[in-house]
Amino acid sequence: MTIERIEAQKILATPPCDSFTDLPWRPATNKDADILKHCLALCRQAPFWLLENNRWAQKFIGPADFHRGGHYFWGNIMVAEFVHVKMRTSGLKPLERAAMPKGVILA
């Protein structure tokens, strides 16, 4: 929150989203909304930028430019597709975890 200016050609950002994700077992507290807004302001300083978050972020920063499944994106870098990463939890069976961008297209 103390950074006001960034000199970068490209920014890829994923600010925290847990506090404004409203779920039946964990209601939203909205404590990280200011971080999300500040991160978006920093991203917009770069010629090419992409901010990833969840659908609940739209309450604070407006409609997403596009989304892929449960991942919502703001910016001018398009994510073509995802590579799903399988991880082991407790060594018993693989669990599909976070999706990572396979490639990006500059808009």
How much is the pLDDT for 104?
55
pLDDT digits (tens, 9 = 90+) for 5-40: 888 899 989 898 888 888 889 888 988 899 999 999
| Domain with 14 in it | 10-106
Tokens matching residue 107 = 């808009």
**Would 74 be classed as within a structural domain?**
yes
**pLDDT-derived band of residue 49, with 50, 70 and 90 as boundaries?**
very high
pLDDT higher than 80, residue 98: no
pTM score: 0.72
Which of these, 76, 64, 80, lies nearest to 106 by C-alpha position?
76
**Would 1 be classed as within a structural domain?**
no
**Would 4 be classed as within a structural domain?**
no
**Would 5 be classed as within a structural domain?**
no
Structural domains of the chain, count: 1
**Would 85 be classed as within a structural domain?**
yes
How much is the pLDDT for 18?
85
